[in-house]
Amino acid sequence: MKNLKTTITTLLISLITVVSFGQKNSVWVTVENVEQLQRNTQFISIVTDLHTDLTYYKAFPSSKQEKLQNVFEFTCSHCDITDLYVSLSRVNGLKGLEYGPTYETLELPNDYNIVSTSNWALDLIGAENAWVYTTGDSTINVAVSDQNFYTNHEELTGKINYYDNTNTSTRTHGTAVATIVAGNTNNSIGLSSIGYNTTLSLYRMNYNDMLIASYSGAKVINLSWASGCSFNPYAQMAIDEVYNNGTFIVASAGNGTTCGGPNTLVYPASYNHVFSVTSVGSQDNIEKTIGNPNTRHQTNSSVDICAPGHNVLLTPAPGWYTYSSGTSFAAPYVTGTVALMLSVKPDLTNQEIDSILRLTATNIDILNPNYVGKIGSGRLNSGLAVQTAWNMIQEVEDGNNGHGNDADGVDNSNPGQGGGNNGNQGGNGNHFGWDNKDKITLGDDLSNLTVIDINGKVTNLENALPGFYFIVSNNLIIKKIYKN
């Protein structure tokens, strides 16, 4: 994930439907007192001028933040949104005007006529190596926010924990994304998914549904869509709320033409606390057509990792299996991998997930020298990421056979092997490997090991601040440690 950034002015794009992010659809405004606004003569004049063709409602009704509860979305079906923005800016009592998002999926339709039987993407990211450790846990809440879904699809039957039956949007894009994340696998039908036995919760394509998913228990959420080309502080607040609630957010970086060019920032992928994913091909090639830079997807400072997104096998509708390109289809490989990581270690924090994904990624800079610094940590390595998460549980110790009599929940004279309800630093559950042997001093010999901080960066422990760190050997995390 990246530091919070502001970015460029709105530019034209072309996606599945030719709609410009420059064509604004709504205005977001902070309204501290709705009743007072309705009596405001300036506001009444706007409503009159628009012949009552004005609607407004809470933009984030599912937020638990008072500030976001006061954000309203204003729109009108027969007026110019820019004129509405200007008019509202003159109304006393309205603050923080921002253009609302324009939600668009991130796929390229020009590959839908390519049909094959090969699924190179799963081979490239080492899916089978990941499945050695787990084929997924149906109790891990994995969410996909997208247009809509064919819930009767043969790859989604029996996989859905939640779906909004009132959703009437187009179904193909969401179906393709969801089935990459965790479509039915090992069922002698269609294709395999990286998430294998993981189940899915399916939500609409907007920021409020992202909040709903998080408060419904989603541990990871996939956003294969764009909402604009510039920073929106309200959207960042919603993103922060979801992240702080413990939901890991994965988003598509953009398709090269998005927001005017591959170097530009696209949102939500470029918000702070969002893990941004761009595309590679079967040869770890950033350019879809090697040698043609105009065939790459987004490459910029906000990209965190790469995953298969050029000519990947997918299924957009029941009985329809084909190939297509887009970062929409790269992001779900990461989301499905995170689901597997959580299946072996459900208590992974967002920072730990981020660090493991970066640390285990395959560096592909030498194959793509023109894009060094713009493609994140490298190409997703699902096998190594899940293995690393699995390896972390080897340090798990339960507290004192249920005794846990000392201050930090660990009685060194009675280390215990499991099951304790009282021996766990917090008082009710298991203690996860934080006894004194995990604390190190500057005298410890770490010369043959690598120390990684919580953000995945190699660290000189002698100069590091107190806190938690990873000890790494042969690209695997062998211990979580604490420096006093």
- What's the whole-model pTM score? 0.78
Q: Residue holding tokens 């770490």?
A: 446
Q: What is the pLDDT of residue 190?
A: 86
Return the number of other C-beta atoms located less than 10 Å from residue 243's C-beta: 18
What band does 476 get if pLDDT is binned at 50, 70 and 90?
A: low
Query: Hey, what are 134's tokens?
Result: 């787990």
Whether domain 104-392 has CATH 3.40.50.200: the reply is yes
Among the residue ranges 7-11, 116-120, 316-320, the one predicted with the least confidence is 7-11
pLDDT at 51 over 70: no
Q: What is the 3-state secondary structure (H, E, C) of the chain?
A: CCCCCCCCCCCCCCCCCCCCCCCCCCEEEEECCHHHHHHCHHHHHHHHHCCCCCEEEECCCCCCCHHHHCEEEEECCCCCHHHHHHHHHCCCCEEEEEECCCCEECCEHHHCCCCCCCCHHHHHCCHHHHHCCCCCCCCCCEEEECCCCCCCCCCCCCCEEEECCCCCCCCHHHHHHHHHHHCCCCCCCCCCCCCCCCCEEEECCCHHHHHHHHHCCCCEEEECEECECCCCHHHHHHHHHHHHCCCEEEEECCCCCHHHCCCCCCECCCCCCCEEEEEECCCCCCECCCCCHHHECCCCCCCCEEEECCCEEEEEECCEEEEEECCCCCHHHHHHHHHHHHHHCCCCCHHHHHHHHHHHCECCHHHCHHHCCCCCCCECCHHHHHHHHHHHHHHCECCHHHCCCCCCCCCCCCCCCCCCCCCCCCCCCCCECCCHHHEECCCCCCCCCEEECCCCCECCHHHCCCEEEEEEECCEEEEEEEEC
Note the residue count of the chain.
Answer: 484
pLDDT single digits (tens) 215-263? 999 999 999 999 999 999 999 999 999 999 999 999 999 999 999 999 9
pLDDT at 407 over 60: no
pLDDT single digits (tens) 88-142? 888 888 899 999 988 888 754 332 333 455 689 999 999 999 999 999 999 999 9
* 29/58 Cα distance (integer angstroms): 10
| More confident call, 74 vs 213 | 213
pLDDT at 79 over 70: yes
Phi, psi of 93 (to 5 degrees): 95, -10
* 163/165 Cα distance (integer angstroms): 6
The stretch 410-427 carries a mean pLDDT of 39
CA distances from 92 to 178, 346, 456 (A): 45, 49, 47
Q: Residue holding tokens 């998080």?
A: 214
| More confident call, 481 vs 167 | 167
* 147/40 Cα distance (integer angstroms): 37
CA distances from 369 to 43, 128, 194, 256, 364 (A): 56, 29, 29, 18, 9
pLDDT single digits (tens) 146-157? 999 999 999 999
